[in-house]
Amino acid sequence: MFAWWSVFRFSAEVSFLKPFAPLCGAKVSGRCEHYRLMMLPRHIWPDTATISDDRLHLGGCDARALAATYGTPLYVFDEATLRGAMRACLAAFERQGLPFGVHYAAKALLNTALAQIVAQEGLGLDVVSGAELLVARRASLPMERVHFHGNAPGAAELERAVAWGVGAVVVDNLDELERLAALTAARERPQGVMLRVAPDIEASTHPAIATGGAGSKFGLLPETLDTAAARLRVSPGLRFLGLHAHIGSQIFDLEAFRATVAVLVDLAARLRARHGLTAEELSPGGGLGTPYLAEEAAPDVAAYAAALCASLRDRCAAHAMPLPRLTVEPGRSIVARAGVALYTVMGRKLAADGTIRYLHVDGGMADNPRPALYNARYTALLANCASAPPGPPVSVAGRYCESGDVLLRDVSLPPAQPGDLLAVATTGAYTLSMASAYNLAPRPAAVLVAEGRARLIQRRETEDDLLARDVPL
Ligand SMILES: Cc1ncc(COP(=O)(O)O)c(C=O)c1O
């Protein structure tokens, strides 16, 4: 018998299940059927995720034991998956034979341990705040591998970025350029800058995370690029490095990335012709999509790298331009699949006939706002009873005081009881980094797992932490 129900949202009739079938050997026991060892689909779950004796294991650690030790909600990060994604991205660009850089986008998730892994694996880092810069420094990440972004950075943040010698400040608008020019006017060593442009490319993704259109709040319109170039030419404290664009996140269409590179090269050629500025570096940003459901296909990072590099080669040849360095900024595609969120089922809402309408869990929109913000969908299983047959579709509601606090809608799960442990896959990106303390519920802890060992990389927020900024009258 083949029990994959708990993993799938709609149906177990999914063709890629078949290769896993030989790994399953069933024996029935109580509420759950036990399997000696079951691998989970790699494009949704971490590389090391297995179901052994009916329980989810991550990085060789029993999810139930992790929850017992660290409490829930708990975010578990699989080190092998994380490093594997970084290496795959580097290798994909390496194979293209062009000068390149891979900068992990810190906004997807940042803590010092992760920044240390980024440093060890040879990636750079994109940051957007002074505190993200601090984390980069704590992790001893060489500052020349850090790019500082933002459409409205504070004065102190810009000062820190310049004083610490970041590799580039990626300038979003003319006012920021003006501030940066004033800040660096007396510098002996000019600060490298890239100009972020709005390429007018509407990629297919949720409107809230589409950033490439002309109407987006981000980036210089091509019409204002000449003004920026003129300012750069009379700014002795600034050195033009190149152009940047980012068309959005959760994008699967390689054509949109290819078009972005073409726009960047065309604009670089224009700057060279009109202003004598040479772009040494071009960056089409990040944005490569990640599957969240079993039926979604994983994008091919090798095809992504090939598409970007082919576009760069073609357009540069058309303009007789030397090849600049290509820098990409993946966030989600590096960290999303490495993360699994663990929640305890606290209660249920039952229909009159006793069927379960909602499971209530001890986290929700404050640690993972993506369902509420973008109608994001997820895949889940019961970590303590991973191969039990499913009951009727059920929704998983968070603990927060909003009707929109529903993490999963109408998913197939075994009939759960209070105390069961829910594992939600692909929760590494844009969850903890966007977490809030809504309802004054402390933010979750995060652990890194590898080879049977778990290390706390972010402790759970405490009530004292929450009240530390609270000032009584
Ligand atoms: C400028 C910039 N670069 C990179 C990224 C990372 O995007 P993703 O996590 O989709 O790869 C973002 C996020 O949207 C971004 O704004």
> What ligand 1 atom has the least distance to the C-alpha of 285?
3
Fold agreement (22-73+339-427+444-459, 79-335): no
Q: Give yes or no for residue 428 CB within 6 A of ligand 1.
A: no
Q: How far apart are CA 116 and CA 106, in angstroms?
A: 12
Q: How high is the pLDDT of residue 10?
A: 28
Query: Residue 419, exposed/middle/buried by CB under 10 A (0-12, 13-18, 19+)?
Result: exposed
Q: How is the chain split into domains, by residue range?
A: 22-73+339-427+444-459, 79-335
In tens, the pLDDT along 76-119 reads 999 999 999 999 999 999 999 999 999 999 999 999 999 999 99
Contacts of 93 (CB under 8 A, 6+ apart): 100, 102, 305, 309, 326, 328
Q: How many residues does the chain have?
A: 473
* CA 287 to centroid of ligand 1, rounded, Å: 5
Q: Give yes or no for residue 332 CB within 6 A of ligand 1.
A: yes
Asked whether the predicted pLDDT for residue 194 surpasses 70, the reply is yes
Contacts of 350 (CB under 8 A, 6+ apart): 356, 357
Q: Give yes or no for residue 78 CB within 6 A of ligand 1.
A: no
Q: Give yes or no for residue 108 CB within 6 A of ligand 1.
A: yes
Q: Does domain 22-73+339-427+444-459 have CATH number 2.40.37.10?
A: yes
Residue with CA at minimum distance from ligand 1 atom 16:
246
> What ligand 1 atom has the least distance to the C-alpha of 250?
10
Beta-carbon count within 10 A of 320 CB: 7
In tens, the pLDDT along 38-73 reads 668 889 999 999 999 899 999 999 999 999 999 999
In tens, the pLDDT along 138-190 reads 999 999 999 999 999 999 999 999 999 999 999 999 999 999 999 999 999 99
In order, the DSSP letters of 69-121 are HH-SSEEEEEHHHHHHHHHHHHHHHHTTTS-EEEEEEGGG---HHHHHHHHHH
Asked whether the predicted pLDDT for residue 275 surpasses 90, the reply is yes
Give the residues across from 381 on adjacent strands: 423
Residue with CA at minimum distance from ligand 1 atom 13:
249
Nearest alpha carbon to residue 123 among 104, 136, 140, 139: 104
Q: How many helices (H) and strands (E) does the chain have?
A: 12, 23
Q: What is the pTM of this model?
A: 0.92
Q: How confident is the model at residue 37 (pLDDT cuts 50, 70, 90)?
A: low
> What ligand 1 atom has the least distance to the C-alpha of 430?
9
Q: Give yes or no for residue 149 CB within 6 A of ligand 1.
A: yes
> What ligand 1 atom has the least distance to the C-alpha of 170?
1
Beta-carbon count within 10 A of 416 CB: 21
Q: How far apart are CA 196 and CA 126, in angstroms?
A: 13
Q: How high is the pLDDT of residue 22?
A: 28
Mean pLDDT of the chain: 91
Which CATH architecture fits 79-335?
Alpha-Beta Barrel (3.20)
In tens, the pLDDT along 284-316 reads 999 999 999 999 999 999 999 999 999 999 999
Nearest alpha carbon to residue 357 among 415, 316, 400, 299: 415
Q: How far apart are CA 98 and CA 307, in angstroms?
A: 13
* CA 401 to centroid of ligand 1, rounded, Å: 30
Q: How far apart are CA 108 and CA 433, in angstroms?
A: 6
Give the residues across from 101 on adjacent strands: 327
Q: Give yes or no for residue 328 CB within 6 A of ligand 1.
A: no
Q: Give yes or no for residue 54 CB within 6 A of ligand 1.
A: no
Beta carbons of 16 and 293 less than 8 angstroms apart: no
Q: How far apart are CA 454 and CA 448, in angstroms?
A: 6
Q: Give yes or no for residue 360 CB within 6 A of ligand 1.
A: no
Q: Extract the runs of DSSP E, i.e. beta strands, from 156-256.
A: 168-171, 191-196, 238-244
Q: How far apart are CA 353 and CA 348, in angstroms?
A: 13
* CA 108 to centroid of ligand 1, rounded, Å: 8
> What ligand 1 atom has the least distance to the C-alpha of 329?
4
Contacts of 120 (CB under 8 A, 6+ apart): none
Asked whether the predicted pLDDT for residue 34 surpasses 60, the reply is no
Nearest alpha carbon to residue 26 among 66, 53, 62, 60: 53
Asked whether the predicted pLDDT for residue 212 surpasses 90, the reply is no
Higher confidence at residue 35 or residue 115? 115
Contacts of 61 (CB under 8 A, 6+ apart): 76, 449, 452, 453, 454
Q: Return the percentage of the chain with pLDDT > 90, whole number.
A: 86
Q: How high is the pLDDT of residue 204?
A: 82
* CA 283 to centroid of ligand 1, rounded, Å: 11
* CA 256 to centroid of ligand 1, rounded, Å: 15
Q: How high is the pLDDT of residue 18?
A: 31
* CA 335 to centroid of ligand 1, rounded, Å: 12
Beta carbons of 50 and 316 less than 8 angstroms apart: no
Q: Extract the runs of DSSP E, i.e. beta strands, from 222-292.
A: 238-244, 281-285
Catalytic residues: 401
Dihedral, 74, 135, 174, 199 alpha carbons, nearest 10: -50
Mean pLDDT in residue range 377-386: 96
Q: How far apart are CA 102 and CA 97, in angstroms?
A: 14
> What ligand 1 atom has the least distance to the C-alpha of 249?
10
Nearest alpha carbon to residue 325 among 281, 267, 265: 281
Asked whether the predicted pLDDT for residue 33 surpasses 90, the reply is no
Q: How high is the pLDDT of residue 7?
A: 36
Q: Return the percentage of the chain with pLDDT > 70, whole number.
A: 92
Nearest alpha carbon to residue 357 among 423, 402, 406: 406
Q: How far apart are CA 315 and CA 312, in angstroms?
A: 5
Q: Give yes or no for residue 172 CB within 6 A of ligand 1.
A: no
- b/e map 383-415, b = 16+ CB within 10 Å: bbbbbbebeebbbbbbbbeeeebbbbbebbbbb
- b/e map 42-77, b = 16+ CB within 10 Å: ebbbbbbbbbeebbbbbbbbbbbebbeebebbbbbb
Q: Give yes or no for residue 405 CB within 6 A of ligand 1.
A: no
